[in-house]
Structure 1
Amino acid sequence: MIEILQWSTLTVCGLVAIARVPSALRGTNRTLFYIFSLMTLAILLSIQAPYVAIDRALGGVNAANLLLRFVIFAAIFFVGIRVTRGFGADSAYRLLTGRIGMAVLGLISLAVLVLFLMMDTAGSSAGLVAVSGQSARNGLLVEYYGAAGRAYPAYVSLVLLPAMVRACRSSFPLLVRAAAFLLALGAIAIGASLLFPALPPALGSVEFVINYTAVLCFVIGLALIWVAKLRAGRSGPRQKTSTAK
């Protein structure tokens, strides 16, 4: 079931990214193309077979996992920029791009890098499962590394959540409100990832479900905003909504 969820999510992200290629080539809203492309790469690096192949090409020291973390950081940052601008959430935009947001991103990125360098990462292993089992020290460092990797996406998601809740209760068109609901659901799912260390090993599959639910909610939510913008454009000039920003 997990593999089906992984490959299905990869397919959805890839198809949406491909659909954005013509617009990106025209220079129209390239941010969405970057988001979908980064999410596609992140999902690819989360799947065992492609992860091992890519990591071995990078030296077989799980550098692909470190790459995955920073790809996720970039994707969620662009999501935050796109959503806060689109919904006019100026305070949330400042929390992401201002001094506080940049400090949070910098400190968490540094923590991820330092923890990775402290581990014995030899031997390609998706999810660092084999790395964690090498020693008690490695196991503890992998836990800290995973927590640091979840911290920035959780920060961005919690910053976005109030704006998404307001959008759901607004007078925006139905498609935009549906998009806001999905984005809010994705934000909640990512926020819930902070609780992963409290889950018993028997519920490890729940982590996959939460993670991929978050990705799908963000991808479909952003795609709905794109569709709403296209529909608004075909309908002629109207009162400016979130899709026009």
Structure 2
Amino acid sequence: MIEILQWSTLATCAVVAGARVPSALRGENRTVFYIFALLTVAILLSIEAPYVAIDKALGGINLTNLILRFVIFAAIYFVGIRVTKGFDAEDGHRLITGWAGRAVLALISMAVVVLFLMMDTAGSSSGLNGVALKDARNGLLVELYGAAGRAYPTFVSLVLLPAMVRAVRSALPALVRMAAFLLGAGAVAIALTLLFPLWPPQWGTAKFIVNYTAVLCFVIGLALIWAARIRYGRNVPRKITYATAE
């Protein structure tokens, strides 16, 4: 089940990214293309077979996991920019792109790198499962590293959530409100990941489902905004279509 969810999510991201290539080449809203392309890379690196193959080529020290963390950071940053601009959430946009957001990103990035360097990362292992099993110290460091890696996506998601709630309750077209609902659901799912250390070990499958549900909600939500722009175009008042504008 987990592999089906992983590969189907990868295929969805890749298809949507591919569909955005012509617009990106024309210079139209490249941010959305970056989001889908980065999510495609992130999902690819989270699947065991390609992860192990790529990591062995990089020296077999789980450097791929560190790269994955920063790919996710970049993807969620662009999601934050696109969604806050699209839904006129000026306060959220300033919070993500301003000094506060940059400080949060810098501190979390530093924590991720430091914790990674403190671990014995030898031996390619998707999810760092092999590293966690080496000893108690590495097990604790893997938990802290994972929590740090989930902190920035959670920060951006919580910034986005109020704007998504307002959009769902607004008089915007149904397609846009559905997109806002999915983006909000994805934000909630990401926020839940910060609680993973508190979840029982037997809930491992549930963690995968939450992670990939978040990705699918963001991908489908952004795709619906794109579809809404195509459907409604620029022929209706801005107060109705601001969320669909590129």
Same fold by TM-score greater than 0.5: yes
Show the counterpart of 2:214.
214
Give the secondary structure class of the aligned counterpart of 2:121.
coil
Please tell me the residue identity of whatever aligns with 1:223. Answer: A
Show the counterpart of 1:133.
133
Show the counterpart of 2:235.
237
Show the counterpart of 2:60.
60
Deviations 1:25-58 (A, max 9, x none): 1111111100000000000000000000111111
Gaps of 5+ in 1: none
1:149 aligns to 2:126 (yes or no): no
Deviations 1:60-117 (A, max 9, x none): 1000000000000000000000000000000001110111100000000000000000
Please tell me the residue identity of whatever aligns with 1:207. Answer: K
Runs of 4+ in 1 over 4 A off after TM superposition: none
Deviations 1:153-212 (A, max 9, x none): 000000000000000001111110000000000000000111101111111111100000
Q: Give the alignment of 1:26-37 within 5 angstroms.
A: 26-37=26-37
Give the secondary structure class of the aligned counterpart of 1:117.
helix
Show the counterpart of 2:98.
98
Q: Give the alignment of 1:40-79 within 5 angstroms.
A: 40-79=40-79
Measure, in 2, the Cα distance between the counterparts of 1:52 and 1:30. 31
Deviations 1:106-154 (A, max 9, x none): 0000000000000000010000000110111100000000000000000
1:193 aligns to 2:193 (yes or no): yes
Show the counterpart of 1:122.
122
Measure, in 2, the Cα distance between the counterparts of 1:54 and 1:27. 31
Give the secondary structure class of the aligned counterpart of 1:20.
helix
Measure, in 2, the Cα distance between the counterparts of 1:91 and 1:54. 40
Please tell me the residue identity of whatever aligns with 2:159. Answer: V
Measure, in 1, the Cα distance between the counterparts of 2:195 and 2:117. 25
Give the aligned length: 243
1:21 aligns to 2:18 (yes or no): no
Measure, in 2, the Cα distance between the counterparts of 1:128 and 1:32. 30
Give the secondary structure class of the aligned counterpart of 1:177.
helix
Give the secondary structure class of the aligned counterpart of 1:172.
coil
TM-superposed CA distance for 1:232, in Å, is: 1.7
TM-superposed CA distance for 1:237, in Å, is: 2.1
1:225 aligns to 2:225 (yes or no): yes
Query: Could you tell me the percent identity over the aligned residues?
Result: 71
